[in-house]
Structure 1
Amino acid sequence: MVLFLFLTLVCNCICDIATAQGDFWGPVCGISGNYTHNSPYNQDLDNVLYTLTGTNNGFGFYNSTSGQVIATALCRGDVDPEKCRRCVDDATRKLIPLCSNQIEAVGWYDHCFLKYSNRSFDYRIDAMVVGYNRNNVSTASYDQWNRTVVKLLEALRSEAASGGQLRKYASGNMTAPGLSPVYGYVQCTPDLSATDCDDCLARATAVSRLYDRRLGLGIFTPSCVLRYENYSGFNSTWYPASVVTNQSGERRQKRNRQAKLSNDLTDEREEDNTGDGHLFDLSSIQVATNNFSAGNKLGEGGFGPVYKGELKDGRAIAVKRLCSHSGQGVKEFKTEVELIIKLQHKNLVRLLGYCVQGTERLLIYEFMANNSLETFLFDPNKCKELDWAKRANIVIGIAKGLRYLHEDSRLKIVHRDMKASNILLDADMNSKISDFGTAKIFGGDQMEARTNRVVGTYGYMAPEYVMGGLFSTKSDVYSFGVVLLEILSGQRNKRLCLDGEPQNFLSTAWCLWKENKGVEFVDRCLLHNYPIDEALRWINIALLCVQEDPQDRPTMSTVVFMLEDRWSAKLPAPSEPLLSFARFMSVFEPQLYYARFAAALGQMTSTDEESTHRQVI
C-alpha cells in the first residue's frame, strides 16, 4: 500500500534551489492516519525525537526507535557535526507543527532531512520532492550538457552505493568542452544495502530526466538524495577527527566545528524557554517526596541531598535539593538549569524542571531506577551483576554522552566532575551523565580556560587542572580514562589493592599493561568471562586518556571510534601517567604511602618542592 503521495514542488514553490538554503522543503505528511494528543503514539514520538540527536553514528546518520515510532535523520556528507546536529534539531522542531497529528512525515533542509513513521520507509514507493533551478540550458548546449550530467550521476551513484555501512555519499564535478562544469552529489541512508542504494538513486536519476532542460535539479526522497548544479556548492566528504592523519587538518576541522559557537550562545538563550513550562510548584514537590522524608532520600550529592518522588501523573522523579550553605549559589543553580534543559541526548540525565521558592532551590530530574554506577561497581555483591556486556554498554554510553557535550551539542561544554557517582543507570542499565553544577560553557574558538577555584574530585581531576586550574575538554577525557579504568578493574582509584597491598591506581594500570599483564588488572567479579583482547585494548584506550600532556589525549570522538573497534590502525602506545591525585593518606598510613612510592617520587623531574607536594596529595 502506498502511504505517501508522489509530490512535485514546482517553480513557484522552489523557484531557485540555489537561493533556498535555509528553506524546509516539503514537508510530505503521510496519508495513513492521525494520532491524538497524549496518545501512546504521541508520547512515543516525543520520546524518539528527544533522543534522536544523541544517536549520531559519527557520520551524520541518526536512527532511533521508541515504542511504535521509528525516526531517522541524515545530514549531507560534507556537513560538519555541529552544523549537522543543529540542522537535525531544527528539523525535529519544524516537522511536527507542519504535519500536526500526522502519524508519518518527512521534510528536507539543504543540509539534512528528517522522517518518522510507525513503519519502515520503502525507498521504492515513498515520498519524493523535486526542486529545480529556474534557468534552462540553451538549445545549442542541451545534448552535450545532458550527456555530461548523466555521466556524472552514474559515476557518483556507483561510488555512493559502495560506500559501506557508515556512509553512502559521493560528490564531484565533470566538464564538457566549451561548457561550464556540472557539480553534483548523491547520497543514500547508510542502512540501505548497496543494491538498494543503487536502485534508489537510479529511480531518482530517471525522474531527473523529466527536467533535463534545467541547469540545476534536486531529487529528495526519504532514502536517497540526488542533486546537481552549474556552480560549486558541494564539498568533499567530512571525516571525523579520528581518521584525519594530518594534524593541521584535524585542527582546521575542529575550528570549522567551532566557528559558530559564539553566535550559538546567543541564539540558544533566545530559543530555549526556561520559564513556566519547566517550573514546578514547591507544594507539589513536597507531596511527591513526602515532604523530603528520610525514607525518600536517595543519597547526598555535591551540593545537597537527592530525593525520590512521584508526581500526580505517576511519573517517578529525582529531586535535587540544593543546600543554602552548599557552595552552589544562584550562579551555579542557573548554570545547571540553563545547561541541562538545552541538552538532549540519551546518555545525559534529563532535567524535567526546577523550583525556586523562598530559600528552596530544587532541580527535578527523571528518575534513574538503578542509582549510580558507583553503587554497583564497588559493591562486592552487586558488581557481579555488571557482566562484560553491561560494562561495555555503560562505557560506550558515557563516551557518547561526553562526545555530545564536547562536539555535538549546541554549546561546547566541559563537565569538570566526571566520576562513577555522577554516572546514573536507568532500568535497563543504560548510563547517563548527571550533575552539571560545575560545568563550563566554551564559546567561539576557545580551547581552554583557567580558574582559581578548582572544583571536582581528587583522583578524577587532570594534573593540569589540580596544579594550575587549567581545564578543557581534555580534562574531561582524563576523568573518563580514570572512570574506564575503574570499570575495568572494579576498584576505586583511591583504594586500589592487589594481593591485599595498596597500589597507586594509574601507575599500576600502566605497569601491568606495559608488562603484558593487563589481565591482572581486570575485575575478578567478571570471573574471566570476558573478551580478553577487548579488555586489554580498553586498558590501552584508558591510558591514552590519562596521559600527562592534554595534547596527547584523544578527543571523545576518537575515543568512541576506538572503543567501537572502528579504529583501523594499531592503537598508539600511551606514555606513563603521573601518579594518581587521589588522597591515599586518608586511607593508608602516610609512612606506608611514602615508603611504597618514594622511588616513584624521586623520578619526578620537577625541582619545585611545593609543586611536587601538590602532585601527590
Structure 2
Amino acid sequence: MCRSILPFFFYLSLLHLITPTAQREPYVCYETGNYTSNSTYRANLESLLASMSSNTDIDYGFYNFSAGENSDKVNSIALCRGDRTPDECRTCLNASSYDLLQVCPNQKEAITWYGDCSLRYSHRSIFGVMESSPLYAFYNTANVSDVEGFNQVLRPLLDRLIKRAASGNSTRKFALASVPAPAFQTLYALVECTPDLDELECSYCLVAAQQFIPQCCDGKQGGKYVTPSCDLRYEVYPFYDPAAEAPPPSTSTPSPPQPQQPVLPPSPPPIKALPPTEGKGGNSSRTALVIVVPIVLSGVVIISFCICVFYLRLRKQREEVETVDQIGRSESLQFDFGTIRVATGDFSDANKLGKGGFGFVYKGALPNGKEIAVKRLSKGSAQGDPEFKNEVISNQKYKLNWEMRYKIIEGIARGLLYLHEDSQLRIIHRDLKASNILLDKDMTPKIADFGTARLFVRDQTQGNTNRVVGTYGYMPPEYVIHGNFSVKSDVFSFGVLVLEIVTGRKNTSPRDGENEEGLLSYVWKNWRAGTTSKLVDPSVTSTSPATQIMRCIHVGLLCVQENVANRPPWRQLF
C-alpha cells in the first residue's frame, strides 16, 4: 500500500539538479562557515585530502579521516564505487580533491560527486550520520518503450539490491546486479552507502533516492541519484564490468510480492438455518409429548442453571488469578525513587524518550545492566497506582510489532477507500483518530463512531459548516479555520494516524496545554534533516522492513500537507 507513494513535495525542495547524465558532476559549497587561505583550517584540510588520495593501506574504497583540533578540526569522508580498484579510487579522489578546492575555495564544508567517487569534508561531525539531502538526479535522455513493464523489473531489482547493500559490513555496503528487461534488453543496477551507516540508515537513504525516480525520470532508460550518504544508478547498458556481479544463488528465492490494489474483504456468507427435523405423526406420539416435555424441560432448566452458576464461579476465579498475576508483574516494575534516580542519570534530558499522557518517559539502566523505561509523573497528573498498573498490563498485552502495525494501516486505508469511493453514498468521517479505530481479536481494524460523519452524493466533492466538530490534532487546517471539509479531510487524519503508528507517539496540538513539539513538526524536522531513522518506534526497528516503513512515512507526510490540493487522492495511495 505504501509502496507507490511518491514524496515529490519534499524532494522538490531538496533537488539541486535534474540533468542528463552527460552534464558536469555536481558539487555543493555550504555556507556554514569560511576559512582564509593561510589559516590552520586550510592547512589541515590540504593535509587531510592529500593523505586520503595517497593512502595505500585502505583497499576497500572508504575513507573517514580527521585532522586538527577544536575549531580547526576537519572531518572528511570519501567513498569510491565498490567495483573500482584501489588505484582507480585514489586517482578519482586526487582529482576530486583538486576540483573541490577550486570551486569551494574558502568554505569549511563542501561535497562533490566526481565520476565514480564522492568526497566531502566539514568542520562538524559527519561520521556515522545519515544525510539524504541534497539529492542530485541525472537521467538517460532515451525513453523506454514499455514504461510499466520496465518499472515492474526495475522496482524489485532495486529492492533486492538495497537489502543486500544495507546488510553489508563496516567496510562495504555495495551491491550490483543485472536482470532481463522488456524489449530484449538487460537492466543493470548498482546501489551503495557509506559503510559507517547501520543497516536501517542505509536502507532509508537508498529508499529515499529510489522513491524519487517516478517523479524525476519515469520512463527513462537510465538514471543516477546521489546524496551525501548513498547513491544508486541503473542503465540498459553495462556501465560496470558484468564480471563484478555475484554468482546467482543455487536456489532461487522469489522476490516479495508487490502490494496490489486492496480489495475489500468479502461479505460473510449468509447464515444457513438448520433443516427442520422430521417427526413421526400420530396421536400416540402427540400425547407422549404433552406429558413428557414439561418434565424434561424442567430438568434441563435446572441442570442448565447449575452449569451456568458453576461456569461463572470458575471464570471469576480464573479472572481473579489472572488479575493478581498481572498486578504482581506490574508491582515488580515499581522501584524506590533512589534506584530510579540513579538509573536515569537524575532524569537527565539526554535520557528523555518522550512524553505520555501523564508525564515524561526516560530510559535508564539498573545495576544489573537491564535497560528500563521510567515514567515520571508531571505536576497535576491524575495518574495513580491503578492507572499505572493498568498501563503496564496493557503494554504487556498489546505491544504491537511492525507486521501488526502495517496490517492496521492497510485495514484503515481499505475502510476509508470504501467510505469514499465504493459506498453508494460518499461518507466523510470527520473525526478519524486512534480512539475511533477498534481492533478485533485478530487485530483487524474497524472504523467506528460515525456521529459526526457527513454524507455526500456521488458528484459532491466538499462541504462547509459553521460548527466544527472533531479532535484537534487530527483535523486539517482548512476545516479548523474555515469549516471546509471533503475527502481530503479524512486523508489528513489518516496521515496523522499513519505517523502515530510508525513513531509510537501521540499527536499533540496547542490545545493540549503543553509546550511540547507536535508530532507533525517532529516528523517534518527529522525528514528534512535526513534523520528519518529516529522516527521509528524503537520497539519495532530491530525486526522491521526498512523500505516498508520509509514508504509509510512518505504516505503520512503526503497526507498531512497543509495545501488540500497536494494531498493525494485515495486511488493513488495503493
Please classify the TM superposition score into its range, dividing by the shorter chain length: 0.3 to 0.5
Give the TM-score normalised by structure 2: 0.36
TM (norm. structure 1) is 0.34
| Rg larger in structure | 2
Larger RCO, structure (CA 8 Å, separation 6 or more) = 2
